[in-house]
């Protein structure tokens, strides 16, 4: 089945007293993985259509159930953007008090899951910010501070090398850390093609949580 566009669905599940599912399992030949719904997830789904050029939906919510029939969750915020017939759209809705009405996602449409622990998400974001600050220091701040405006615009090389060096060291440490903690993508089977040679991941519906 040819897919005419990709719709990206980002789901960040937050565990609380309303949640019915705390974890679920995915599997592929010879491997299995248990994913906690308390972590950051990015569900990418493919849907066939003619009018939508591209689109993305970001749903933050509380997962209710996972089955062959669908993934159910109560959204706490919904963000949509994309383009249809050349016209762009942008929609945002936040539920400040109570989650929105239950919504359902067809597991057949999921092509991948991006998964990242909360701790890794914090480390990755912080490291990325520090890496950008390091680049900014080395490329912009260091040259500007090294100019001695009151001394006939002389350039202080020693000061420059110290500042630029500190910035580059920061980048060298934080950039690899940001990459290493950026999360993992699990590519799912294309259930529409039903290819027996497809070694992608799929939901393990036989998995039962150990309460």
Residue 188 — very low, low, confident or very high, per pLDDT cuts 50/70/90? confident
Locate 76 and state its tokens.
């706490």
Q: What percent of the chain has pLDDT over 90?
A: 22
- Please report whether residue 198 resides in a domain: yes
User: Is residue 82 left, alpha or beta, with left meaning phi > 0 and alpha meaning psi from -120 to 50?
Assistant: left
Measure the CA–CA gap between 183 and 122, rounded to whole angstroms: 11
Same domain for 167 and 187, yes or no, is: no
On the CB side of 195, how many CA atoms lie within 13 Å of its CA?
10
pLDDT category at 20 given cuts 50, 70, 90 is low
8 in Cβ contact with 44 (< 8 Å): yes
Q: Mind listing the pLDDT tens digit for each residue in 60-101? A: 666 777 788 887 877 776 767 767 777 776 767 777 667 777
When pLDDT is averaged across residues 166-184 and rounded to a whole number, the result is: 91
- DSSP-derived letter for residue 162 is H
86 shares its domain with 190: yes
What is the average pLDDT score of the chain?
76
Number of domains in the chain: 2
**Is the per-residue pLDDT at 25 higher than 50?**
yes
Domain hosting residue 146, numbered range: 120-180
From CA 130, how far away is CA 160, in angstroms rounded?
19
C-alpha–C-alpha distance, residues 144 and 167, integer Å: 14
Looking at the fold, whether 94 and 194 belong to one and the same domain comes out as: yes
């Amino acid at each position: 089945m040819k897919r005419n566009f990709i719709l990206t669905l980002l789901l960040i599940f937050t565990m609380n007293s309303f949640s019915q599912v705390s974890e679920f399992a995915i599997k592929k030949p010879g491997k299995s993985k248990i994913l906690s719904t308390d972590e950051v997830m990015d569900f990418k789904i493919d849907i066939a259509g003619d009018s939508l050029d591209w689109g993305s939906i970001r749903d933050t919510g509380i997962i209710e159930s996972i089955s062959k029939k669908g993934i159910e969750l109560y959204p706490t915020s919904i963000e949509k953007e994309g383009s249809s017939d050349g016209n762009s759209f942008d929609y945002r809705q936040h539920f400040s008090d109570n989650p929105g009405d239950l919504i359902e996602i067809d597991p057949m449409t999921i092509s991948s899951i991006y998964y990242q622990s909360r701790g890794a998400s914090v480390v990755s974001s912080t490291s990325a910010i520090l890496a950008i600050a390091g680049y900014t220091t080395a490329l912009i701040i260091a040259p500007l501070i090294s100019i001695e405006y009151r001394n006939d615009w002389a350039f202080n090389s020693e000061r420059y090398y110290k500042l630029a060096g500190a910035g580059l060291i920061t980048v060298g440490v934080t950039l690899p850390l940001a990459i290493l903690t950026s999360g993992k993508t699990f590519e799912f089977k294309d259930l529409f093609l039903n290819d027996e040679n497809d070694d992608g991941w799929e939901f393990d519906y036989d998995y039962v949580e150990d309460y």
